[in-house]
C-alpha cells in the first residue's frame, strides 16, 4: 500500500518533469499540423477575397481531379526512391573503403564529408552549370571523348532533368549516408570476422552474414532520414530547374509553394500539406513494418 | 563714477548681446526648420525591374522638376517579371506595403485587385479622359467593373511576314489560317524558304498568350469573366488546338516550336528561316537592325483567323495602380497622371521604342517619322483580346499550359487535353 503511493508519487513527479517538454513538442509540431488541417477545411483564396469561408472537404475532392498534384507526387516518389537506393549502395561502398586502415585515412574521411557540409543552394547552382547545354563541363567532356555530336540539353529534357537532379542530390548526400554507416561498421568487433574466416567464410559471406545484419540499425536510420528529406526536397530543385521543364521535376513541395505564394490559395495549399503529411506517415510506418519483418525473417536480434 | 556706470551698462549690454544672439539663432533655426518641414517633399515609392528603372530616370527627373513637393523614388527590382511580382506579393501579404504605386503587368491586375491591395481609380478619371487610351489596355485594368490600373505602355501579339517573298510569289499576306497554311506549303515546295510559320509552343505564360489569339480567331473563349463559364472543351477550342498541331504535322512549323519562347522564334525568323512569325512589337526594331538578314524585308499585320471569324491580338502591357495602404493617394495619382500623359509617353516611346497606351500617339507625326509601322500597330492593338481577367488567372493559365503542351507534343489528343483542362479549370473556379 505504502509502496503504491510511493510509486504514484514518483510517477507524478515524472509527469511533472516531462510536461514542459511535451508542451513544447505540442506547440511546435502538433499545433501547426492541426492548424493546417483546420485551414484545409476552408476556402481562403482570391475567389473569397482572401477571407476564410467554410468549405468542408471541397479542397480534398478537388485534389482527386488535380492532375498536377498527382504528377508532383509521382515525380517526388521517383526522385526519392532513385536517390535513396543510389545513396545507400554508394554510401555503403564508400563506408567499407573508409573503414579500412590506410595512410591519410583521416584526411580522406574529412574530404568525404565535404559535400554534405556545403549549402544545397550553392552546390545546386554549381550543378546547374555542370549540366548547362552550352558551357557545361559535362557536355564538354562528352564532346571531347567523341561520345556525342552536339551538346545535350540536360535540364531542358523532362527525363534528363530528373536524372540530373538525382545525380546532384546523390553527390551531396551520399557522404551523409556513408558517415552514418561508417559509425556502424566501426562498432563491429574485428574478432567476429577473424572467427568467421577461420571457419572458411569468403569475404562476401562475411559481409552478408556479419556486416549487413549488424549495421541494419544504421541502414534503417539513414534510409528513414534520407526518405523524409528527399520527400520534402525544395531548394535543390528550385535552383536547378524550378520544377521544369513542363513540370517534369516539380516536387510536391514546389507545388505547395506555388499554390500558396503564387496563387494565394491558402486553403487548398493547407489541404495539400495535410495529404502529403499523411502520405509520409503511411510510408514511414510501412517501411518500419517491412524492416521489422525482414529482421525477423533473417533471424537477426536487435 | 560716471565711467563706472557706463562700464556696468556695457557689461549688461555684452551679457544681453549674447543672450540676444542665442535667442536669434534659436529663432532662426526653429524658423528654418518649420519651413523645411512644410516643404519636405512627400516620397512616393514604386518598384520595377532594374532595366526599366533606368529607362524611367529621365521621366523621374522631369516629374520632380515640375513637382518639387513630391519625391518619386524608384526601387530597382530583379529583371525577371515573376520575381518582381513575388516582391510585390510578399510586401502586401506582410501588411503595410512600402510601395505607394504598383507598376504592374496586365495579368496581375485581377489578382491584386481581388486580394484588396489596390485602390479604386474610377472616380479619379472621367469618361472623356479615358477615351484616348486603347480600349483593350484600359479594360485590362478593370476587375469586376471597377478600374484599378491606368495603362502606360502597351503590347500585343501579331503576325510578322516576309514581304519580299510574298511579293515575289505575287501573294497577299494571309488573312485566314487556311491561307497561311496554303502560302507556306507553296513557298516551301518551291524551296523559297525552309519553314512556314514559327510560334511559341513551350509550356510557359507565352503559350497561353499565343493561344488566346488563335482561340478567339476560331470564335472560342477561355473563361467568361462574368459568368465564369469555361469554353476550353467546346468545338471551337478543339479546332484551335488542332490547327496548331496541324502546323507541325504538315511540316509548316518545325517540331521544335514546342520548346520555343519568343527569342528562339525571333532568331529563327530573323535568320531568314521562316516565312511567318507570331510575336510581340519588340521584334520589329531588332529584325530591322543593320546586321539583320531580313532588314527591310518584313511586314506586320493582325493575327490570322479561321474563315468567318475575326483576328485577335493578345493584350499585354504595363500600367500603374495605387496601393491601398499608401498614406498619399493624391500625390500618387499625380504621378500616374504625369507618367501616363500623352507628352510623357511620347518622350518615353521616342527614347525606348516601346508601344504607347494612347491611340493618338500611334499616328503622332514625330513618332511615325521614327517608327513608320506604328499606324499598322494600332490596327493590331485595336483587335486585342484579354487573357481572362479573373482573380485566379495564374492558376488557370498554368492548367491550360500543361494540357495544351501535352496536346501539342502529341501526348494527348486535342479533345482529351481540352476536356482535362476544362474540368480542372471548372474545379478551380468552383463550378
Domains of chain B: 43-155+315-385 (3.40.190.10), 157-314+387-429 (3.40.190.10)
Q: Is the Cβ–Cβ distance between A80 and A219 less than 8 Å?
A: no
Spatial CA neighbour of B337 closest among B358, B352, B355, B353: B358
> How far is residue A85's CA from residue B52's CA, in Å, rounded to a whole number?
48
Query: Please, what is the Cα angle at B30 between B24 and B35, to 5 degrees?
Result: 125
If you write DSSP's letter for every residue of B180-239 in order, what string do you get?
A: HHHHHHHHHHTTS-SEEEE---SSSHHHHHHHHHHHHHTT--SB-TTT--B-TTSHHHHH
Nearest-neighbour CA in chain A from B158: distance (Å): 25
Q: How far is CA B37 from the centre of its chain?
A: 38
- Measured in whole angstroms, the distance separating CA A153 from the mean position of its chain's CA atoms is 27
- Classify the complex by whether its ipTM is higher than 0.85, answering yes or no: no
Could you tell me if B361 and B367 are in contact, meaning their C-beta atoms sit under 8 angstroms apart? yes
Query: Mutating which of B95, B111, B114 best tests the A interface, going by the most A Cβ atoms within 10 A?
Result: B114
For residue A69, the model assigns a pLDDT of 93
Average of per-residue pLDDT across A5-24: 91
Q: Which of B431, B386, B3 is nearest to B157 (CA)?
A: B386
Which chain B residues have any C-beta within 8 angstroms of a chain A C-beta? 86, 89, 93, 111, 114-116, 202-203, 259, 391-392, 394-395, 398-399, 402, 405, 420, 423-424, 427-430
First to last CA, chain B: 108
Looking at the complex, report in whole angstroms how far the Cα of residue B365 sits from the nearest Cα belonging to chain A.
43
Residues paired with B356 in a beta bridge: B153
- Three-state SS annotation for B286-312: HHCCCCCCCCCCEEEECCCECCCCCCC
What percent of chain B is modeled with pLDDT above 90? 77
* Cβ separation A67–B115 shorter than 8 A: no
The sign of the CA dihedral B419, B420, B423, B425 is: negative
- For residue B260, pLDDT over 60 is answered with yes
Q: Is the pLDDT of residue A110 over 60?
A: yes
**Which residues of chain A neighbour B86 with C-beta distances below 8 Å?**
261-262
Residue B33, pLDDT > 60, answer no
Q: Which of A141-150, A207-216, B314-323 has the highest mean pLDDT?
A: B314-323
- Please write down the HEC assignment for all residues of A60-104: HHHHHCCHHHHHHHHHHHHHHHHHHHHHHHHHHHHHHHHHCCCCC
* Residue numbers in B near A67 (CB within 8 A): 402, 420, 424
| Smallest CA–CA distance from A62 into chain B, residue | B427
Q: Nine-digit cell at B373?
A: 509601322
Q: Is the CB of A67 less than 8 angstroms away from the CB of B394?
A: no
3-state secondary structure of B279: strand
Contact call for A67 and B424, based on CB within 8 A: yes
Query: Predicted confidence band at B29 (pLDDT cuts at 50, 70, 90)?
Result: low
Please check whether residue B80 is in contact with residue B109, taking contact to mean a CB–CB distance below 8 angstroms: no
Judged by CB atoms closer than 8 Å, whether chains meet at A263 and B394 is answered as yes
Average pLDDT, chain B: 90
Q: Is B257 helix (H, G, I), strand (E, B) or coil?
A: helix
**Residue numbers in A near B392 (CB within 8 A):** 45-47, 263, 265
The dihedrals phi and psi of B276, each to the nearest 5 degrees, come to -125, 150
CA distance B287 to B298: 8
Taking residues B251-278, report their average pLDDT. 92
Sign of torsion, CA B218 B222 B228 B229?
positive
In Å, how far is B106's CA from the nearest CA of chain A? 16
Contact flag B391-A46 (C-beta cutoff 8 Å): yes
Nearest CA in chain B to A71: B402
- If one compares B184 and A1, the residue with the highest pLDDT of the two is B184
> How many A/B residue pairs have CB atoms within 8 Å?
58
Q: What is the pLDDT of residue B25?
A: 60
Q: B5-12, long-range: CB within 8 Å, 24+ apart, which pairs? A: none
CA geometry: angle at A64 spanning A62 and A67, to 5°? 95
Rounded CA separation B299/B373 (Å): 9
How many whole angstroms separate alpha carbon B30 and alpha carbon B25?
8
Cβ contact, residue pair B116, A68, below 8 Å: no
Q: Which of B79, B76, B11 is nearest to B46 (CA)?
A: B76
Share of chain A above pLDDT 70, in %: 97
Q: Are residues B342 and B361 in contact, defined by beta-carbon separation less than 8 angstroms? A: yes
Q: Residue A288: pLDDT band by 50, 70, 90 thresholds?
A: confident
Q: Which residues of B141-167 are buried (b: 16+ CB within 10 A; e: fewer)?
A: bbbeeebbbbbbbbbbbbbbbbeebbe
Could B402 and A68 be called an inter-chain contact, meaning their C-beta atoms sit closer than 8 Å?
yes
Beta-carbon contacts of B248 under 8 Å, excluding residues fewer than 6 positions away, are B254, B255, B257, B258, B408
pLDDT value at residue A301: 47
* C-alpha cell recorded at residue A109: 574521411
- Say which CATH topology domain A67-298 has: MetI-like fold (1.10.3720)
Q: Which of B259, B423, B429 lies at the smallest CB-CB distance from A156?
A: B259
Q: Do B115 and A156 touch (CB under 8 A)?
A: no
- Residue B96 per-residue DSSP state: S
Q: Give the domain ranges of chain A.
A: 67-298
Residues of A with CB under 8 A from a CB of B: 43, 45-47, 49-50, 58, 62, 65-68, 156, 244-247, 258, 261-265
CB spacing of A50 vs B116 below 8 angstroms: yes
pLDDT greater than 80 at residue B275:
yes
Q: Which residue does chain B place closest to A158, by CA atoms?
A: B259
Among all residues of chain A, which has the CA nearest to that of B201? A246
Q: Which residues of B touch A272 (CB under 8 A)?
A: none
Q: Say yes or no to pLDDT of A302 above 50.
A: no
The reported pLDDT for the residue numbered A243 is 84
Which residues make Cβ contacts (< 8 Å) with residue B232, sequence separation at least 6?
B222, B400, B418, B421, B422, B425
For B206-235, how does the pLDDT look when each residue is reduced to its tens digit (9 = 90+)?
Answer: 999 999 999 999 999 999 988 999 999 999
Put simply, the answer to whether A49 touches B114 (Cβ < 8 Å) is: yes
B264 interaction partners in chain A (CB closer than 8 Å) = none
Q: In this structure, are residues A160 and A148 in contact, taking their beta carbons and an 8 Å threshold? A: no
Amino acid at each position: 500500500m505504502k509502496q503504491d503511493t510511493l510509486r504514484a508519487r514518483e510517477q507524478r513527479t515524472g509527469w511533472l518533469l516531462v510536461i514542459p517538454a511535451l508542451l513544447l513538442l505540442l506547440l511546435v509540431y502538433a499545433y501547426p499540423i492541426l492548424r493546417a488541417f483546420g485551414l484545409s477545411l476552408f476556402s481562403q483564396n482570391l475567389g473569397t477575397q482572401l477571407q476564410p469561408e467554410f468549405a468542408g472537404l471541397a479542397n480534398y475532392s478537388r485534389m482527386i481531379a488535380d492532375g498536377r498534384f498527382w504528377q508532383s507526387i509521382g515525380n517526388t516518389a521517383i526522385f526519392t526512391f532513385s536517390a535513396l537506393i543510389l545513396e545507400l549502395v554508394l554510401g555503403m561502398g564508400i563506408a567499407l573503403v573508409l573503414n579500412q586502415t590506410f595512410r591519410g585515412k583521416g584526411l580522406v574521411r574529412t574530404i568525404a564529408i565535404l559535400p554534405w557540409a556545403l549549402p544545397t543552394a550553392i552546390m545546386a547552382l554549381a550543378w546547374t552549370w555542370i549540366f548547362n547545354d552550352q558551357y557545361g563541363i559535362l557536355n564538354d567532356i562528352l564532346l571531347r571523348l567523341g561520345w556525342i555530336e552536339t551538346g545535350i540539353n540536360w535540364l531542358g529534357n523532362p527525363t534528363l532533368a530528373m536524372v540530373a537532379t538525382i545525380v546532384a542530390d546523390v553527390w551531396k548526400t551520399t557522404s551523409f549516408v556513408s558517415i552514418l554507416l561508417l559509425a556502424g561498421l566501426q562498432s563491429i568487433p574485428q574478432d567476429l570476422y577473424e572467427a568467421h574466416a577461420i571457419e572458411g567464410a569468403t569475404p562476401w559471406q562475411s559481409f552478408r552474414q556479419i556486416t549487413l545484419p549488424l549495421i541494419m540499425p544504421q541502414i534503417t536510420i539513414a534510409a528513414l532520414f534520407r526518405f523524409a528529406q528527399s520527400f520534402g526536397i525544395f531548394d535543390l530543385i528550385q535552383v536547378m530547374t524550378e520544377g521544369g521543364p513542363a513540370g517534369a521535376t516539380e516536387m510536391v513541395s514546389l507545388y505547395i509553394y506555388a499554390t500558396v505564394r503564387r496563387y494565394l490559395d491558402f486553403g487548398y495549399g493547407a489541404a495539400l500539406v495535410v495529404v502529403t503529411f499523411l502520405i509520409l506517415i503511411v510510408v514511414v510506418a510501412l517501411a518500419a513494418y517491412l524492416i521489422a519483418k525482414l529482421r525477423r525473417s533473417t533471424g537477426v536480434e536487435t | 563714477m560716471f565711467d563706472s556706470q557706463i562700464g556696468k551698462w556695457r557689461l549688461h549690454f555684452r551679457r544681453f548681446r549674447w543672450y540676444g544672439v542665442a535667442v536669434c539663432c534659436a529663432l532662426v533655426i526653429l524658423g528654418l526648420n518649420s519651413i523645411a518641414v512644410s516643404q519636405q517633399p512627400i516620397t512616393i515609392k514604386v518598384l520595377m525591374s532594374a532595366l526599366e528603372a533606368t529607362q524611367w530616370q529621365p521621366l523621374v527627373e522631369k516629374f520632380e522638376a515640375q513637382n518639387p513637393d513630391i519625391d518619386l523614388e524608384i526601387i530597382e527590382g530583379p529583371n525577371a517579371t515573376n520575381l518582381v511580382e513575388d516582391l510585390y506579393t510578399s510586401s502586401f501579404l506582410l501588411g503595410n506595403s512600402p510601395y505607394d504605386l504598383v507598376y504592374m503587368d496586365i495579368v496581375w491586375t485581377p489578382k491584386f485587385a481581388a486580394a484588396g491591395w489596390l485602390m479604386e481609380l474610377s472616380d479619379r478619371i472621367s469618361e472623356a479622359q479615358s477615351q484616348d487610351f486603347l480600349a483593350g489596355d484600359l479594360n485590362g485594368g478593370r476587375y469586376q467593373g471597377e478600374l484599378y490600373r491606368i495603362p502606360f505602355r502597351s503590347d500585343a501579339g501579331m503576325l510578322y511576314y516576309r514581304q519580299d517573298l510574298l511579293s515575289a510569289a505575287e501573294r497577299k499576306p494571309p488573312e485566314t489560317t487556311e491561307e497561311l497554311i496554303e502560302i507556306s506549303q507553296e513557298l516551301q515546295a518551291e524551296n523559297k524558304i525552309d519553314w512556314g510559320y514559327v510560334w511559341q509552343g513551350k509550356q510557359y505564360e507565352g503559350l497561353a498568350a499565343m493561344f488566346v489569339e488563335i482561340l478567339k480567331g476560331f470564335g472560342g473563349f477561355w473563361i467568361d469573366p462574368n459568368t465564369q463559364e469555361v469554353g476550353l472543351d467546346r468545338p471551337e477550342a478543339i479546332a484551335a488546338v488542332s490547327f496548331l498541331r496541324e502546323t507541325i504535322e504538315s511540316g509548316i512549323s518545325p517540331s521544335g516550336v514546342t520548346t520555343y519562347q519568343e527569342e528562339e522564334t525571333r532568331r529563327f525568323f530573323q535568320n531568314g528561316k521562316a516565312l511567318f512569325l507570331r510575336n510581340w512589337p519588340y521584334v520589329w526594331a531588332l529584325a530591322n537592325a543593320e546586321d539583320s538578314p531580313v532588314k527591310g524585308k518584313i511586314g506586320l499585320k493582325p493575327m490570322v483567323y479561321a474563315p468567318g471569324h475575326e483576328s485577335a491580338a493578345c493584350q499585354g502591357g504595363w500600367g500603374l495602380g495605387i496601393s491601398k495602404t499608401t498614406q498619399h493617394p493624391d500625390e500618387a495619382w499625380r504621378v500616374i497622371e504625369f507618367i501616363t500623359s500623352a507628352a510623357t509617353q511620347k518622350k518615353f516611346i521616342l527614347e525606348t521604342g516601346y508601344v504607347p497606351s494612347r491611340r493618338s500617339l500611334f499616328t503622332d507625326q514625330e513618332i511615325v517619322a521614327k517608327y513608320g509601322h506604328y499606324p499598322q500597330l494600332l490596327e493590331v492593338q485595336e483587335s486585342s483580346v484579354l487573357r481572362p481577367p479573373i482573380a485566379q488567372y495564374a492558376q488557370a493559365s498554368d492548367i491550360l499550359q500543361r494540357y495544351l503542351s501535352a496536346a501539342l507534343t502529341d501526348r494527348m489528343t486535342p479533345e482529351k487535353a481540352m476536356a482535362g483542362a476544362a474540368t480542372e479549370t471548372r474545379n478551380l473556379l468552383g463550378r
